[in-house]
Structure formats: C-alpha cells, structure tokens
C-alpha cells in the first residue's frame, strides 16, 4: 500500500507517494539533496533547473558505473567458476 511522505530538496518541499518505507524515502531524498547542494555550492549562479539536470546526470552516471562494475564482477566470478569446474573435470579424467 502506498504511503505519502514529504521531503525537502534544495529547500523545496515535495510530497511523494510510494510503497517504500519512510527510512528508504528519507535516505534517497537526503542523497539527492546532497548531490544537488554539491552542485549548487560549486556554482552559485546556476539555475535550480540546471542543478536538477546536472544532479540527475551525476546520479545516472553513478548508477551506470556501479552497474558496469557489478556486471564485470559477475562475469569474472562466472569465468572463475568455469575454470574451476574445467580443472576438476580434467583431474577426474
């Protein structure tokens, strides 16, 4: 069942409806707020819209990088398991 939560990002309040629990909503909003404030701090003349766009791009880049590392790690483990199984098959012969 969806719950309603109020969060604040860059001083602007947002009402969110989600099935996530309050702790997760707070952690996500705090993270987005941190990213946005970091951009705002580096450039005091940037518009809120551009902060949001740059923040979204930064978060997307982090997501893509983590996904690539995750996939690479899975492939490495798969290859290692194949090697181990091949070695055991050869030793059993």
Cβ atoms 32, 11 nearer than 8 A: no
Segment 42-77, tens digit of pLDDT:
988 999 999 999 999 999 999 999 999 999 999 999
Helix or strand run (H / E) with residue 23: helix 22-42
Decide if pLDDT at 89 tops 70: no
How does DSSP assign 31-69, residue by residue? HHHHHHHHHHHH-TT--HHHHHHHHHHHHHHHHHHHHHH
- Domain boundary assignment for the chain: 3-92
What is the rounded distance in angstroms from the CA atom of residue 8 to the CA atom of residue 11?
6
Give the range among 6-20, 55-69, 73-87 with minimum mean pLDDT. Answer: 73-87
């Amino acid at each position: 069942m969806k719950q309603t939560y109020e969060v604040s990002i860059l001083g602007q309040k947002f009402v969110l409806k989600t099935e996530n629990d309050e702790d997760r909503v707070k952690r996500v909003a705090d993270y987005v707020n941190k990213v946005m404030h970091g951009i705002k701090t580096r450039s005091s003349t940037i518009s809120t819209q551009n902060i949001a766009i740059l923040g979204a791009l930064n978060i997307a880049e982090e997501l893509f990088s983590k996904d690539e590392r995750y996939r690479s790690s899975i492939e490495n483990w798969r290859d290692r398991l194949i090697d181990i199984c091949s070695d055991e098959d050869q030793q059993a012969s």
